[in-house]
């Protein structure tokens, strides 16, 4: 049971990491740009300027704070250091709730060169009548998240990233001023809205979405159940095999001890291996004629007196206090 909990925790951790990675800063996309704004969107101070819309294309909430916007192509130079590149860009400061974008939400930045006016104002301006390069960098100052080159536009025209219902994915189109949609999904020139709006049109009551969501949830639960059942079975089999190996090892040791005990009784406590070693050594010495020819008589020569052969020591002593 403990193993199951550990693996469930690991799976949940991997899912969270994958979700966090999938819904990170790379989900920010440049969505719409107006270069010359004369009668369109106004900022919080009532002024008009060119603007850039950034969309959170993920299904989670992400904060775009500390990211960078720039119109300077030199920022793409990979040889630049981070401090050098940051000097070429406009920082999106933290501390503003508007930078915390929920799923599919958009934020508009005014390219008026007046950062003193607040968070959504950049330090650069867009140039009317000319191509404008725009890039969005991650907060590390080196990872390019998205970029686009806006072609020369007339007054109030917008360059928008629109979902092509009849094509394959998204494409950029030039829209007239009345088709610009700052802060909202882009629609124009007969093109459909993005996949969300298209899905809402086909399933207005959300029945199909509910069925799909429940199907995904139950399928995931069944997959987890099957996985843990198989894992539990495999773990049980491994545990049984380990116990069988341990029992066999104990049995082998017991058999060996019994054999040694039996051999010990037959050899009066001497291990059979010792007998075998002695016999082998004796046979080897006999075959190789290791010893000299001996007389089987022990002779001891000395010029000094020794009690070695004293006869007196071979006589039995008379008992004391015999009478």
DSSP 112-132: BS-GGG-TTB-S-B--TTS-E
Is there a single domain that holds both residue 49 and residue 154? yes
Q: Provide the 8-state DSSP code for 165.
A: T
CB-facing half-sphere around the CA of 62: CA atoms within 13 A: 28
Q: What is the pLDDT of residue 133?
A: 97
Domain count, the chain: 2
Task: Tell me, yes or no, whether 184 lies in a domain.
Answer: yes
Domain boundary among 275, 299, 315: 275
How much of the chain is in helix, strand and coil states, percent to nearest 5? Answer: 40, 20, 40
Domain stop point among 157, 192, 227: 192
pLDDT tens digits for 180-198? 999 988 876 545 455 565 5
Residue pair 106/119 in contact (Cβ under 8 Å)? The answer is: no
**pLDDT tens-place values along the chain, 323 residues long:** 445 555 555 555 555 444 444 447 889 999 999 999 999 999 999 999 999 999 998 888 999 999 999 999 999 999 999 999 999 999 999 999 999 999 889 999 999 999 999 999 999 999 999 999 999 999 999 999 999 999 999 999 999 998 876 666 788 999 998 999 999 888 765 454 555 655 665 666 678 778 888 888 989 999 999 998 898 888 888 888 888 888 888 888 887 777 666 666 565 555 666 667 778 888 877 777 655 566 666 555 556 666 666 666 666 666 666 55
Examine the domain organization and report whether 173 and 31 are in the same domain.
yes
Contact assessment for residue 27 and residue 57, using Cβ atoms and an 8 Å cutoff: yes
**Other CB atoms within 10 Å distance of the CB of residue 145:** 20
Closest CA to 111 of 119, 123, 99: 123
What pLDDT is stored for residue 59 in this prediction?
84
In angstroms, rounded to a whole number, what is the distance separating the alpha carbons of residues 17 and 30? 25
Range of the domain at 268: 211-275
- Report pLDDT for 5: 57
Cβ neighbors of 252 (< 8 A, separation 6 or more) are none
- 177 and 243 in a single domain? The answer is no
Characterize 244-260 residue by residue with b for buried, 16 or more Cβ atoms within 10 angstroms of its Cβ, and e for exposed: eeeeeeeeeeeeeeeee
Q: What is the pLDDT of residue 298?
A: 58
Q: 176 and 142: one domain? A: yes
At residue 281, the pLDDT reads 82
Task: Report the CATH number at residue 136.
Answer: 2.60.40.1260
Q: Is the Cβ–Cβ distance between 52 and 111 less than 8 Å?
A: yes
Indicate the length of the chain as a whole number.
Answer: 323
Nearest in space to 171 (alpha carbons), one of 159, 182, 180, 181: 159
pLDDT of amino acid 89: 97
Task: Give how far Cα 36 sits from Cα of 150, 173, 180, 287, Å.
Answer: 12, 16, 12, 114
Same domain? For 103 and 34 the reply is yes
Are 188 and 249 in the same domain? no
For residue 288, is it within any domain?
no
Q: Are residues 185 and 264 in the same domain?
A: no
pLDDT digits (tens, 9 = 90+) for 196-228: 655 665 666 678 778 888 888 989 999 999 998
Tally the C-alpha atoms within 13 A of residue 75's C-alpha that lie toward its C-beta.
26
146 & 28 share domain = yes
Please state, in angstroms and rounded to a whole number, the distance separating the CA atoms of residues 202 and 15.
30
Distance CA 249, CA 149 (A): 75
One domain, residues 167 and 106: yes
Residue 90 in any domain: the answer is yes
**Is residue 258 located within the same domain as residue 182?**
no
- Is residue 308 domain-resident? no
In a domain? residue 92? yes
For residue 148, tell me if it sits in a domain: yes
Verify that 91 and 58 share a domain, yes or no: yes
Residues 252 and 225 in one domain: yes
Q: Does the residue 203 lie in any domain? A: no
88 domain residue, yes or no: yes
């Amino acid at each position: 049971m403990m193993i199951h909990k550990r693996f469930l925790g690991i799976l949940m951790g991997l899912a969270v990491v994958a979700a966090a990675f999938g819904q990170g800063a790379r989900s920010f996309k440049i969505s719409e740009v107006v270069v010359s704004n004369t009668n369109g969107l106004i900022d919080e101070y009532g002024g008009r300027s060119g603007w850039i819309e950034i969309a959170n294309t993920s299904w989670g909430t992400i904060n775009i704070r500390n990211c960078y916007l720039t119109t300077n192509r030199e920022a793409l130079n990979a040889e630049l250091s981070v401090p050098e590149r940051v000097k070429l860009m406009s920082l999106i400061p933290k501390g503003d709730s508007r930078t915390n974008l929920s799923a599919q939400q958009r934020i508009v930045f005014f390219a008026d060169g007046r950062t003193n006016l607040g968070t959504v104002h950049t330090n650069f301006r867009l140039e009317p009548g000319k191509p404008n390069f725009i890039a969005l960098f991650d907060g590390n100052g080196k990872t390019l998240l998205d970029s686009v080159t806006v072609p020369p536009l007339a007054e109030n025209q917008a360059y928008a990233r629109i979902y092509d219902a009849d094509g394959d994915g998204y494409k950029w189109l030039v829209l007239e001023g009345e088709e610009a949609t700052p802060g909202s999904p882009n629609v124009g020139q007969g093109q459909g809205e993005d996949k969300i709006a298209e899905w809402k049109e086909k399933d207005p009551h959300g029945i199909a979405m509910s069925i799909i969501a429940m199907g995904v949830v139950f399928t995931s639960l069944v997959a987890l159940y099957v996985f843990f059942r198989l894992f539990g079975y495999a773990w049980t089999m491994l545990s049984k095999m380990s116990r069988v190996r341990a029992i066999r090892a104990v049995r082998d040791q017991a058999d060996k001890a019994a054999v040694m005990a039996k051999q010990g009784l037959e050899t009066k406590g001497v291990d059979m291996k010792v007998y075998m070693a002695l016999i082998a050594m004796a046979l080897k010495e006999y075959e190789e004629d290791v010893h000299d020819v001996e007389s089987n008589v022990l002779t001891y020569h000395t010029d000094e007196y020794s009690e070695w052969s004293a006869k007196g020591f071979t006589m039995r002593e008379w008992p004391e206090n015999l009478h």
